[in-house]
Structure 1
Amino acid sequence: MDEFVCARCGAVLTAAVSRVALPTHANQQVWHILLPALMAAGTYAVDPEPSGPPWRLWDEVGSEEAEARGVFAPVFSLSFGPAGAIVVAPGDTRGTVLIPERCDGYCMGLDGRDGPNLACAQCGQAVATRIDDCSLWQAVWFVPAAVRRVASLGPVSPPLSWDTLVKQRQVVYPVDARGIWSARWEAAIGMSLAHLLASSAGSPVTVPHGLLQPTFGRALDVLIPAGTTPKRLVLAGPELPASLEDADLLLAPVHPQTGLAWRPPGNAVTVPLDADIWTYLAFDEGRSPMPATGGMPDGVLRDDPLPMRPLSMFDPDVQVFLHTLARLPAVRHPWLRAIFDRATEQQRFARCW
């Protein structure tokens, strides 16, 4: 467990928190929806990329300098701010006060457009940015140079094993109470789709029946033309049957603490997927999240009440997709760059898929 203190005066600015991987949906924006906290209580994550001002346009930066910064395809602008911003849940902050003149936002709250809007209550130094406007995941982002990490008392716990994570069964249901697709699903599939394309080498990809068809299959059919021998994608991971002999690509969970994808022995090509979404696909697909009385025999899924169905077709989050794809070296291949360019152009019309 760690605490973060003010780099100037040493005042404690957070509760005791443990480090986890940066969530896939950290930079997601969802139009005009109030979203919950990005981070679970008692956790923090570090963004390895630069963030915040100053910003420089792509034409000003150039491809060589952009590639040196880990961006391999044109984006509108690049941040030249500091890397390593620390994000916590708003409820885990301590000893901070708002800076009134920096509390602007678009609609229902703060969006950080004016820079850090939280100051250390003891010395007044600007230390963090509170985000809670509509369309943005609620979070507090600490400026790396303004805080210092201090290890808290207590034993250091190793990351949970895959078996333990599976037994805990943390899942995110694909459809929320309003009958629309989960924003986390849209972000997670957008990220995984970018990795899947990069791993496909331009070949069509077949996906299993079930939810993988509407979430991955439709986008793949649009992005990769048929005609060559397809590659087979299967869901793989801890406690799943070992039926990987004929698989070309494995859709595997990402450990929520380490950020590393599960890998079987050998040289199989794995495609990462948010562990909470993967767990639903692997163990809970077809089960209703609604309470019901009575028992069912083992191996039989209850169909009363029926699981919620979405009101529209699934669309992977195009911004997360493009952000991820731009940072994969494979995007320099002409066929994949063409997909990136087409999606970049068409995202303005919401018809990428």
Structure 2
Amino acid sequence: MAVFACAGCGAVLTAPVSRVALPVHARRSYGHGLLPALMEPGTYAVDPEPSGPPWRGWSEIGAEEAAARGVFAPVRSLSFAAPGAIAVAPGDIREVALIPERCDGYCLGLDGRDGPNLACVHCGRAVATRIDDCSYWQAVWLAPGAVRRLPAGPDRPTVAWEALAEEWEDTPPVEPSGAWSPGWAAAVGTSLAHLVAASAGAPVAVPPGLPAEMFGPALDVLLPPGRPARRAVLAGPARPASGPAPDIALVPRQPQTGQVWQPPGTTTAVPLAADVWLHLTFPRARLPVPVTGGLPDGVLRDDPLPLHPWEPFRPDREAFLHTLARLPAVRQPWLREVYDRVRERPYGRPF
């Protein structure tokens, strides 16, 4: 466990928090309503990439400098701020006050456009940015150069791979409104970039059911037909791949450390957010009768109704492009053509 303190005066600014991997949807926006908190209470995550101003356009940066910063295909702009912003839940922040002149936003709250908008109440140092506007995940982003990490007790034990299914929660793909979960859209968009890169330009066959619904239509659009399909399966702890060794395995990313589970042999690993992987791999059947009590003979449960989406699933296009631009493989001509096609057609299939 740790707390974060003001680098200026040493005042403690957070409750004790434990590190987890940065959620894949952390920098994605969604819809026009208020979204929930990005981070679970008592946790924090570090963004390894720079974020926020100053920004520089692609024509100013150039391909060589961008590649040195881990970006291998054209993007509109890149942040040249310091990497390492720290995300915490708004309820875990302490001893800070809003900076009134930096409280602009688009619609219903703060979007951080003016830079850090929270200051330490003890010394006045700008230390963090609160985000709570519509379309954005609510979070407080601590500026890496403005805070210091201090120990605050033993760390939470890391969940073992073998215990992942028992100790970590999955996330349903459909929200109560009938909309697809934006977290799923971002997770699938991110993994789709890895999956397309792992295809080597050949079609990819994914398992039937929900995995096919998530990935199948996008793979059909993005990859050319005609070559023998590469076989992709769900694999991971307590879920060994069955049958002949697959070409590609969709595997979980450890939710605390971010480590990717490695399949045996020469199978290529494609990482998938752990909560999404768990739901795809170990779907929880909805009981037709109550756990306690009972229903009359011949009567099955009809409340609550099962959740069904009201539109086809679409992966998050921005998550796909962001991830693919940061894979060195995108410099291959066939994969660069996929990237350019998606980038130039913002409303094209399958996004």
User: Same fold by TM-score, threshold 0.5 exceeded?
Assistant: yes
Partner in structure 1 of residue 186 of structure 2? 187
Q: Taking structure 1 as reference, are residues 169 and 135 closer, same or farther at Cα in structure 2, changes over 3 Å only?
A: same
Instruction: Please list every run of 5 or more consecutive structure 1 residues that lacks an aligned counterpart in the other structure.
Output: 297-301
CA contact (8 A) 2:187 2:272 kept: yes
- TM-score where L is the length of structure 2: 0.94
Partner in structure 1 of residue 151 of structure 2? 151
Q: How does 1:206-225 map to 2 (within 5 A)?
A: 206-225=205-224
Percent identity between matched residues is 60
2:225 maps to a residue whose letter is A
Partner in structure 2 of residue 76 of structure 1? 76
Structure 2 counterpart SS, 1:253: strand
Q: Taking structure 1 as reference, are residues 199 and 14 closer, same or farther at Cα in structure 2, changes over 3 Å only?
A: same
Q: For the residues of structure 1 that align with 2:301 and 2:56, how far apart are their CA atoms? A: 54
Partner in structure 1 of residue 109 of structure 2? 109
Q: For the residues of structure 2 that align with 1:334 and 1:311, how far apart are their CA atoms? A: 37
Q: How does 1:41-120 map to 2 (within 5 A)?
A: 41-120=41-120
Matched, 1:288 2:322: no
Give 1:51 deviation, angstroms.
Answer: 1.2
Give 1:213 deviation, angstroms.
Answer: 1.4
Q: For the residues of structure 2 that align with 1:290 and 1:115, how far apart are their CA atoms? A: 51
CA contact (8 A) 1:35 1:137 kept: yes
2:182 maps to a residue whose letter is A
Instruction: Please list every run of 5 or more consecutive structure 2 residues that lacks an aligned counterpart in the other structure.
Output: 295-299
Give 1:322 deviation, angstroms.
Answer: 0.4
- TM-score where L is the length of structure 1: 0.93
Deviations 1:64-99 (Å, cap 9, x if unpaired)?
A: 000000000000001001111111111110101001
1:262 maps to a residue whose letter is W
CA contact (8 A) 1:234 1:249 kept: yes
Deviations 1:227-266 (Å, cap 9, x if unpaired)?
A: 0010011011111254152411000111001101112333
Q: Taking structure 1 as reference, are residues 289 and 178 closer, same or farther at Cα in structure 2, changes over 3 Å only?
A: farther
Structure 2 counterpart SS, 1:267: coil
CA contact (8 A) 2:217 2:350 kept: no
Q: For the residues of structure 2 that align with 1:232 and 1:275, how far apart are their CA atoms? A: 21
Q: For the residues of structure 1 that align with 2:51 and 2:82, how far apart are their CA atoms? A: 6
Partner in structure 1 of residue 236 of structure 2? 237
Q: How does 1:178-327 map to 2 (within 5 A)?
A: 178-243=177-242, 245-284=244-283, 287-288=285-286, 292-293=290-291, 307-327=306-326
Query: Larger deviation: 242-251 or 63-72?
Result: 242-251
Give 1:168 deviation, angstroms.
Answer: 2.1
Structure 1 counterpart SS, 2:3: strand
Q: For the residues of structure 1 that align with 2:72 and 2:241, how far apart are their CA atoms? A: 36
1:212 maps to a residue whose letter is P
Q: For the residues of structure 2 that align with 1:266 and 1:157, how far apart are their CA atoms? A: 32
Give 1:304 deviation, angstroms.
Answer: 5.4
Structure 1 counterpart SS, 2:38: coil
Which runs of structure 1 show a deviation greater than 3 angstroms over 4 or more consecutive aligned residues? 288-296, 302-306, 350-353
Matched, 1:168 2:160: no
